[in-house]
Amino acid sequence: MTTNDSEIQLDTNTILGHPKGLFYLFFAELWERFSFYGMRALLTLYMVNVIFLELVERDFAAAAVYASYGSLVYASTVVGGRISDSILGFRKSIFLGGILMALGHFVLAIENDYTFFLALGFIVVGNGFFKPNISTFVGSLYKDEDPRKDSGFTIFYMGINIGGWVAPLLCGWLGSAYGWHYGFGLAGFGMLTGLLFFWSGIKSGVFGSQGMAPSEEKLEEKLIGIKRGHLISLLAFLSAPVIAILLASYKAIGSGEGFLEGQNIVNIIFKVVGLFILCYLAYILSKVSFEERKKLIVAIAITLFMTLFWGFHELSGSVITLFASRNVSLTFLDAAQTNSLNSMFIIILALPISWMWTKLNKHKINPRTPYKFGFGLLIAGLSFYILALSGNAADQNGMVPFSYLLLMYFLLSVGELFMSPVGLSKITDLSPKRIVAFMMGVWFLSSAYAFQLVGFIGKQLAIESDDINVGGMETLSTYIGGFDLISKYSIGAGIIVLISAPLLKKLMGNIH
Ligand code: GLN
């Protein structure tokens, strides 16, 4: 924000020692993530069972679309963050994003193959305006250096995961008991509830003067006869069909050989942009001072490690959901509902793990960030190893016990807590102040690029079959082989990070 510090008025009312506004943002984000993860729980199964039902390569197509959607849904946050900073401000951006997302979920509730892609387009753009800005809004409720800020973010992360826990259970249940579209519809109502919380926060004045557009004149200024603010909203709505076309293009270049085989336009755009970002980072590294360069190298390294971690983690919405539906003996939950397990464990583990870091800190044995990242990747590898081991316990129908999936999600969530919240705060510490916003954008892009990896793995593990009810022995070995390989890569990466940790630690200087 360009607002001057002296002009900022913070609301002084508190709840549980935190600004009152935090709790409005907590509930708004809880419901937004409810819609996001409720829909995600159904997405792959819906594509495989409905949208691509006629195709023998339905898994491949679903993996391609899931990956492109995931990449774009996180990449759009970079654009949404920039537009909010320079023109709209948090409040307007969050409203615009929330309305677009709700619209996307409601369009998904229409039974039609064409509107399906349009719906994903709306969610991609909506998330771009909503997600980065509500997170930054949380930070802006506190003064810099306020010691309550970290625990404020932990509370906020809890809200995210309460949404991520409950939504797959409810949307999954509605989806299987009444039909897919009821599940998607509920996600839309979830998003509207989030907006209602946000609106009531604004009405009750809990955000003080925070989140306004940086300049009213700029917002009102007319371009081609339309006010700038309105023009942005219009363009946001219009970009949804463009994204829909990109997403629907999964087969456009797919028939080629070699490098471009099985690629869609989104994959190619991401490759080109990725190359550009790497060159730009190299250029920045050459321009900054020696001290800044050392820290920036670590910031880039941990972003790359995070990309790898999310690349395995985000398989939960695609390959692991399909594995659960085809090869896991499920009794209490259905395959869509298993998507709630990660968030459930985050809720259980977030406070004990952050308490553990504080305790270790007191004894001066709190591991430095590179070690936490190394262990995070090792634990992720272990979680996939557990899933690979489940093959040994399969019954004669090729179904493995649920306990393996449960243990896998438990470990993956521990790995997430070793890396994600720690990394977020380190990026701000390690980046030179003048490029910290850009580095935040790069951090969010780690999730976007992770989905490219998810797509690659998903395509490797795609089952081809005429039979829509394929599963059991027919699919078990493909999945087990894949999980085994993923565990080796993740453990290997963890070991490399741990070996390079002493060097990274040196480069970090006084940053923990
Ligand atoms: N689960 C977290 C959220 O939804 C982080 C997801 C990610 O960055 N890939 O906010």
Task: Give 457-471 pLDDT, tens digit per residue.
Answer: 999 999 999 999 999
The per-residue pLDDT for 123 is 97
- Give the nearest ligand 1 atom to 161 CA: 1
**Tell me: the pLDDT tens digits for 249-293?**
765 444 444 444 556 788 888 989 999 999 999 999 999 999 999
pLDDT, mean over the chain: 91
Question: Please, what are the domains in the chain?
Answer: 1-248 (1.20.1250.20), 265-512 (1.20.1250.20)
74 C-alpha vs ligand 1 centroid, how far in Å? 9
Contacts of 467 (CB under 8 A, 6+ apart): none
416 C-alpha vs ligand 1 centroid, how far in Å? 10
- Cα–Cα dist 511/429, whole Å: 7
The per-residue pLDDT for 12 is 75
Q: Is the CB of 105 under 6 A from ligand 1?
A: no
Task: Say which residue, 254 or 454, is predicted with more confidence.
Answer: 454
Q: Is the CB of 312 under 6 A from ligand 1?
A: no
335 C-alpha vs ligand 1 centroid, how far in Å? 20
226 C-alpha vs ligand 1 centroid, how far in Å? 36
- Cα–Cα dist 88/233, whole Å: 10
Q: Is the CB of 167 under 6 A from ligand 1?
A: no
Q: Whose CA is nearest to atom 10 of ligand 1?
A: 160
The per-residue pLDDT for 3 is 41
**Tell me: the pLDDT tens digits for 74-129?**
999 989 988 998 899 999 999 999 999 999 999 999 988 889 999 999 999 999 99
Q: Is the CB of 476 under 6 A from ligand 1?
A: no
169 C-alpha vs ligand 1 centroid, how far in Å? 18
Asked if pLDDT for residue 434 goes beyond 90, the answer is no
Contacts of 230 (CB under 8 A, 6+ apart): none
Q: Is the CB of 313 under 6 A from ligand 1?
A: no
Quick one: average pLDDT of 236-260?
Answer: 72
Q: Whose CA is nearest to atom 6 of ligand 1?
A: 447
Q: Which two tokens stand for residue 116?
A: 């399906």
Q: How far from 72 is each of 33, 126, 184, CA to CA, in Å?
A: 17, 11, 20
Q: Whose CA is nearest to atom 2 of ligand 1?
A: 160
- Cα–Cα dist 427/82, whole Å: 18
221 C-alpha vs ligand 1 centroid, how far in Å? 36
Phi, psi of 33, deg, nearest 5: -70, -30
Q: How far from 103 is each of 25, 98, 355, CA to CA, in Å?
A: 21, 8, 40
489 C-alpha vs ligand 1 centroid, how far in Å? 22
- Give the nearest ligand 1 atom to 33 CA: 4
In single-letter form, the type of residue at position 270 comes to: F
Q: Is the CB of 131 under 6 A from ligand 1?
A: no
266 C-alpha vs ligand 1 centroid, how far in Å? 21
Q: How far from 484 is each of 54, 192, 307, 478, CA to CA, in Å?
A: 31, 41, 20, 10
Quick one: average pLDDT of 60-75?
Answer: 94
110 C-alpha vs ligand 1 centroid, how far in Å? 27
**Tell me: the pLDDT tens digits for 159-199?**
999 999 999 999 999 999 999 999 999 999 999 999 999 99
**Tell me: the pLDDT tens digits for 21-56?**
999 999 999 999 999 999 999 999 999 999 999 889
- Give the nearest ligand 1 atom to 342 CA: 1
Q: Is the CB of 310 under 6 A from ligand 1?
A: yes
**Residue to mutate, 101, 447, 453, ligand 1, most ligand atoms under 8 Å from C-beta:** 447
Q: Whose CA is nearest to atom 8 of ligand 1?
A: 447
The per-residue pLDDT for 136 is 84
- Give the nearest ligand 1 atom to 313 CA: 9
**Tell me: the pLDDT tens digits for 350-364?**
989 988 988 998 898
Task: Say which residue, 434 or 258, is predicted with more confidence.
Answer: 434
The per-residue pLDDT for 262 is 54
Q: Is the CB of 33 under 6 A from ligand 1?
A: yes
255 C-alpha vs ligand 1 centroid, how far in Å? 33
Asked if pLDDT for residue 215 goes beyond 60, the answer is yes
Q: Is the CB of 447 under 6 A from ligand 1?
A: yes
Instruction: Name the CA dihedral angle for 224, 225, 227, 231, rounded to a multiple of 10 degrees.
Output: -50
33 C-alpha vs ligand 1 centroid, how far in Å? 9
Least confident of 105-109, 153-157, 452-456: 153-157
98 C-alpha vs ligand 1 centroid, how far in Å? 17
The per-residue pLDDT for 7 is 54
- Cα–Cα dist 219/230, whole Å: 8
Q: Whose CA is nearest to atom 7 of ligand 1?
A: 447
The per-residue pLDDT for 509 is 86
